[in-house]
Amino acid sequence: MIEGQASGGKSPKLRYGMIGGGPGAFIGDVHRKSIAMDGKAEIVCGVFSQNYDSTLAMGDSLGLPKERLYRTFEEMIRAEAQRHDRPDFISIVTPNSTHFPAARMALEHGFSVVCEKPLATSSGDAADLACLVRETGLLFCVTYAYSGYPIVKHLRDIIHAGEIGDIRFVNGEYPQEWLATRLEDTGQKQAAWRTNPKLAGLSNCVGDIGSHIEFMAAYMTGLEIDALCARLDRFGPGRPLDDNATIMVNYKGGARGVYWSSQIAAGHDNALRLRIYGTKGAVEWFQETPNTARVSFLDRPSGTISRGRDPLWPRGQSLSRLPSGHPEGYFESFANIYSTFITALGKKLRGEPLSGDDLDFPTVDDGVRGVRYIEKCVESSAKGSVWVRMD
């Protein structure tokens, strides 16, 4: 049995503020609980809703003083930038349309940022953020949280070490059923904003879940997409944005791939799956059973790797929290992203050098690439599902 790793540390807690994540919000609560898991940062301020009373209610539940609860993110950033106990970073967990203006203003006022994906609703805005990050030297994380699973880190190291040979084909799929009916007409807030172009941007399905496939494939393999051919479907009657997408990709270097994402696939909950095939073997990982992975080689029997029981490569092992048989899931994956980011930020603030493992979180450049991928999928589909180049 391999014991879980100790969490936490002796470094002083960092402080953070949050934009979004008010009463009833799913992802904001995930962020807060994941940050709290390792005790490395504490929330000190927030604007949790466009409704000030809701912000006050959420702030009260979190034990925050009223003077650090704000009506708008602009008000919060300006006021908090003047405090001696200002936040060390800002977490942005709003609908897509707010990501760019909130992140830009935070960076301009000297705050490092953690932002939900997609980074922005246009690649131009995303590129502007990347430029600002480089100009300021601040840290920026985009929460593609599935890359925080220890098994994902292990498979990435297997692939990068050449154990399955040169990559030939990548199959990524992410089916859900939650928008198989017009849930947005029932008052369900998550469905309402994700299917609204003013809040979600150019795409719903590709932007919301298809972008996870793109990031995970790139993160695990290191491959870059050269060109893609996409068909974006709208099966919900009158729905303005896609709810199903099929995308063929050609990678630089000759590998090929097919990505499928769907929110109308009856019988599926949150079924992100990656299958990666090389000249010597293959790996397969399924998000709904994230503690195990299938690994196959041409010259030996296929097998299952189990987090907690089997030894992982050092990076994955360092993020394994529990002994074998105790499942780690979504919160732990998110926590691993945040723990890495917060540790890196703390070291940066203390003037200490950062290692590759310190910077092993999704960056602003990953976010830029993700937004460009979304745009190219929309462009290809709009032109009749033609091949388009990524550059």
pLDDT tens, position by position, 49-105: 999 999 999 999 999 999 999 999 999 999 999 999 999 999 999 999 999 999 999
- Residue 178's H or E segment, with its range, is none
Same structural domain, 217 and 90:
no
Distance CA 234, CA 204 (A): 10
Structure tokens at 156: 């990435």
Angle, CA of 220, 226 and 227, to the nearest 5°? 115
Q: Is 344 contained in some domain? A: no
What type of residue sits at position 78? R
Strands 112-115 and 89-92: parallel
> What DSSP character marks residue 310?
B
Nearest to 212 by CA among 31, 22, 8, 374: 374
Distance CA 10, CA 180 (A): 48
Q: What is the pLDDT of residues 308-331, one digit of tens each?
A: 999 999 999 999 999 999 999 999
Same structural domain, 35 and 69:
yes
Same structural domain, 230 and 138:
no
Nearest to 111 by CA among 91, 84, 134: 91
CB atoms inside a 10 Å sphere around CB 368? 24
Q: Is 9 contained in some domain? A: no
Tell me if residue 223 falls in helix, strand or coil: coil
Same structural domain, 138 and 160:
no
Mean pLDDT, residues 2-22 taken together: 74
Nearest to 26 by CA among 379, 205, 270: 270
Cα distances from 127 to residues 82, 119, 203, 208, in angstroms, run 28, 10, 18, 19
Same structural domain, 192 and 141:
no
Give the whole-number percent of the chain exceeding pLDDT 90: 95
Structure tokens at 147: 């890359």
List of residues 6+ apart from 79 with CB closer than 8 A: 70
- Report residue 6's pLDDT band, with 50, 70 and 90 as the boundaries: very low
Same structural domain, 248 and 377:
yes
Distance CA 219, CA 148 (A): 11
Q: Is 137 contained in some domain? A: yes
Mean pLDDT, residues 4-16 taken together: 68
Q: What is the pLDDT of residues 277-309, one digit of tens each?
A: 999 999 999 999 999 999 999 999 999 999 999
Structure tokens at 11: 């470094």
Q: Is 284 contained in some domain? A: yes
CATH number at residue 135: 3.40.50.720
What type of residue sits at position 185? D
Q: For residues 328, 329, 330 and 336, what is the CA-based torsion angle, rounded to 10 degrees?
A: 20
Same structural domain, 96 and 110:
yes
Tell me if residue 267 falls in helix, strand or coil: coil
Same structural domain, 303 and 211:
yes
Same structural domain, 124 and 168:
no
Q: Is 275 contained in some domain? A: yes
pLDDT of res. 12: 85
Mark which of 145, 173, 206 sits at the end of a domain. Answer: 145
Same structural domain, 172 and 133:
no
CATH number at residue 184: 3.30.360.10
11, 311 Cβ separation under 8 angstroms: no
Phi and psi torsions of 304, nearest 5° = -115, 130
Same structural domain, 117 and 221:
no
List of residues 6+ apart from 390 with CB closer than 8 A: 224, 225, 226, 227, 228, 372, 373, 376
Q: For residues 191, 211, 198 and 243, what is the CA-based torsion angle, rounded to 10 degrees?
A: -50
Same structural domain, 127 and 65:
yes
Q: Is 81 contained in some domain? A: yes
361, 337 Cβ separation under 8 angstroms: yes
- Report residue 176's pLDDT band, with 50, 70 and 90 as the boundaries: very high
Q: Is 188 contained in some domain? A: yes
Asked if residue 8 has pLDDT above 70, the reply is no
Q: Is 187 contained in some domain? A: yes
Angle, CA of 325, 327 and 330, to the nearest 5°? 170
Mark which of 145, 166, 182 sits at the end of a domain. Answer: 145
Q: Which domain holds residue 304?
A: 147-321+367-389
Distance CA 282, CA 163 (A): 9
Mark which of 90, 119, 145 sits at the end of a domain. Answer: 145
Angle, CA of 110, 113 and 119, to the nearest 5°? 125
* Omega of the bond leading into 175 within 30 degrees of 0 (cis): no
Distance CA 374, CA 281 (A): 30
373, 203 Cβ separation under 8 angstroms: no
How many structural domains are present in the chain? 2
